[in-house]
């Protein structure tokens, strides 16, 4: 009797991929020598890849199938990698991602769309006036960022038009770092916060994100914008994010097109709580399925506030964030 006959009766065998269906190692091309680059931006199926300062255009190789390639991805590239005009390289492998920022188009959308890979900071650009700040939007972006394992940075622009105090006070208990910016303000605090990191910039159209990027990276030429009254979109209609190197090679900012919504149907309360070490420790005692809101009668966060293990301000801020988001 063959061993295969025995395995067929074994239920656990069903889920395992059949050995024969996998390509054998010796048939699989070895790309370990292929050059590694970073995806800078994507335009109509063409990927801009930066390798050692060379800027090339590439397409996805067929063997990648439906695997997504997104801005920030580290990829292996073969073919013509000279970067010369008219040449096209092929992306054959995507390196494992350290983080993935995702969004769903809206809350009823079951599809998570990966937006940016390998970032470590999420800079939320919000105007203090014109357009007025919306904490619901900030909360949604914070939740998406915590879910992705990114550290948030609140960039409050247009401080010449309104004071930042109320917003700063709202997010201080969560430990969110912030910088306040006016047209003539010193950029040094922002530069320090971005130094050596890969920061995704998100913000509603009109908050002054392009103005900020142009100040940080002279020559980056981000379109500053007359918002189109009909479409609500800025002048440049690109839908892809773009990675821009900070001067002196001191990190990257990844600019994203003005976000109008940040659907969060893929996020669970426990993944958010996990971003806060002190809260996560306490929430380990919550009943199964607890959403950690004020409406959850047995949430362990309440007991921890009552006996002084957690500050009430921190728990309230956390709950406001997860409930308005
Ligand atoms: N008063 C004031 N206005 C600013 C400031 N920063 C930018 N603006 C103005 O706000 C408007 C929008 O600025 P943008 O930089 O285009 O904003 P954006 O967030 O990039 O918007 P999109 O390009 O639509 O994504 C422009 O008219 C800017 O001149 C600021 O600090 N103070
Ligand atoms: Zn709870």
Last residue of a domain, one of 94, 111, 146: 94
Q: Is the pLDDT of residue 251 over 90?
A: yes
Residue 75 sits in a domain of what CATH number? Answer: 2.40.50.140
Q: What is the pLDDT of residue 14?
A: 43
- Confidence class of residue 114 from pLDDT cuts 50, 70 and 90? confident
ipTM of model:
0.96
Work out the angle at residue 150's Cα, subtended by the Cα atoms of residues 153 and 44, and round it to the nearest 5 degrees. 100
**What pLDDT, in 10s, does the model give residues 179-205?**
999 999 999 999 999 999 999 999 888
What are the φ/ψ torsions at residue 20 (nearest 5 degrees)?
-65, -25
User: What value does the mean pLDDT take over residues 119-138?
Assistant: 94
Residues 202, 250, single domain; the answer is: yes
Question: According to the annotation, is 160 in a ligand binding site?
Answer: yes
Residue nearest atom 23 in ligand 1 by C-alpha distance: 225
**pLDDT top residue among 163 and 140:** 163
Who contacts 252 (Cβ-Cβ below 8 Å, separation ≥6)?
197, 198, 199, 243, 244, 245, 246
For 66, the 3-state DSSP assignment is: coil
Question: According to the annotation, is 158 in a ligand binding site?
Answer: yes
**What pLDDT, in 10s, does the model give residues 208-227?**
999 999 999 988 877 665 44
Residues 62, 133, single domain; the answer is: no
What is the model's pTM?
A: 0.83
Residues 210, 310, single domain; the answer is: no
The answer to the question of residue 128 being in a domain is yes
- For residue 195, count other CB atoms closer than 10 A to its CB: 12
**What pLDDT, in 10s, does the model give residues 165-174?**
999 999 999 9
Residues 37, 166, single domain; the answer is: no
* 211 CA → ligand 1 middle, Å: 6
- For residue 204, count other CB atoms closer than 10 A to its CB: 20
Residue nearest atom 8 in ligand 1 by C-alpha distance: 208
Residues 277, 251, single domain; the answer is: no
Q: Which of 125, 204, 118 is nearest to 167 (CA)?
A: 125
The answer to the question of residue 295 being in a domain is yes
β-strand pairing of 242-245 with 252-255: antiparallel
Q: What is the pLDDT of residue 23?
A: 54
Asked if residue 279 lies in contact with residue 301, where contact means CB atoms within 8 angstroms, the answer is yes
The answer to the question of residue 84 being in a domain is yes
Last residue of a domain, one of 94, 128, 143: 94
Domain that holds residue 61: 32-94
Last residue of a domain, one of 213, 232, 255: 255
Which residues place a Cβ less than 5 A from the ion ligand 2?
A: 286, 290, 292, 299
Question: According to the annotation, is 206 in a ligand binding site?
Answer: yes
Mutation probe of ligand 1 site: the residue of 128, 157, 211, 232 with most atoms within 8 A of C-beta? 211
Task: Ligand 1, residue 233: give the atom nearest the CA.
Answer: 24
Count the domains in the chain.
3
Distance between CA 58 and CA 78 in Å, rounded?
9
Determine what percent of the chain is predicted with pLDDT higher than 70. 82
Q: Which ligand is nearest to the CA of 128?
A: 1
Q: How many residues are given for the chain? A: 325
**What pLDDT, in 10s, does the model give residues 49-85?**
999 889 999 999 999 988 899 999 999 999 999 989 9
CB contact burial 70-87 (16+ within 10 A = b; e otherwise): bbbbbbbbbbebebeeee
β-strand pairing of 74-79 with 89-94: antiparallel
- For residue 23, count other CB atoms closer than 10 A to its CB: 9
**pLDDT top residue among 220 and 38:** 38
DSSP designation for 223: P
């Amino acid at each position: 009797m063959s061993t295969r006959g025995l395995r067929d009766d074994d239920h656990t065998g069903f889920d395992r991929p059949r050995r024969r269906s996998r390509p054998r190692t010796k048939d699989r091309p070895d790309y370990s020598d292929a050059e590694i680059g970073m995806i800078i931006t994507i335009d109509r199926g063409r990927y801009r890849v930066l390798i050692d300062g060379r800027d090339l255009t590439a397409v996805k190789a067929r063997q990648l199938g439906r695997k997504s390639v997104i801005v920030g991805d580290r990829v292996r590239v073969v073919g013509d990698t000279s970067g010369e005009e008219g040449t096209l390289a092929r992306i054959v492998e995507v390196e494992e991602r350290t983080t993935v920022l995702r969004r769903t188009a809206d809350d009823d959308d079951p599809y998570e769309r990966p937006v940016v890979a390998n970032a470590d900071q999420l800079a939320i650009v919000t105007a203090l006036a014109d357009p007025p700040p919306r904490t619901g939007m900030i909360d949604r972006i914070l939740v998406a960022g915590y879910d992705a394992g990114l550290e948030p940075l609140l960039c409050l622009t247009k401080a010449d038009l309104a004071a930042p105090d109320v917003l700063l006070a709202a997010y201080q208990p969560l430990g969110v770092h912030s910088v306040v910016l006016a047209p003539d303000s010193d950029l040094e605090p922002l530069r320090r916060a971005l130094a050596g990191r890969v920061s995704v910039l998100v913000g509603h159209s009109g908050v002054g994100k392009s103005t900020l990027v142009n100040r940080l990276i002279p020559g980056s030429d981000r379109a500053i914008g007359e918002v189109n009254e009909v479409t609500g979109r800025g002048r440049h209609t690109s839908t892809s994010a773009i990675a821009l190197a900070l001067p002196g090679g001191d990190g990257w900012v990844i600019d994203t097109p003005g976000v109008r919504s940040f659907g969060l149907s893929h996020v669970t309360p426990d993944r958010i709580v996990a971003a806060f070490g002190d809260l996560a420790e306490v929430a380990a005692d919550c009943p199964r399925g607890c959403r950690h809101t004020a409406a959850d009668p047995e949430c362990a966060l309440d007991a921890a506030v009552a006996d002084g293990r957690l500050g009430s301000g921190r728990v309230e801020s956390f709950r406001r964030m997860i409930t308005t988001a």
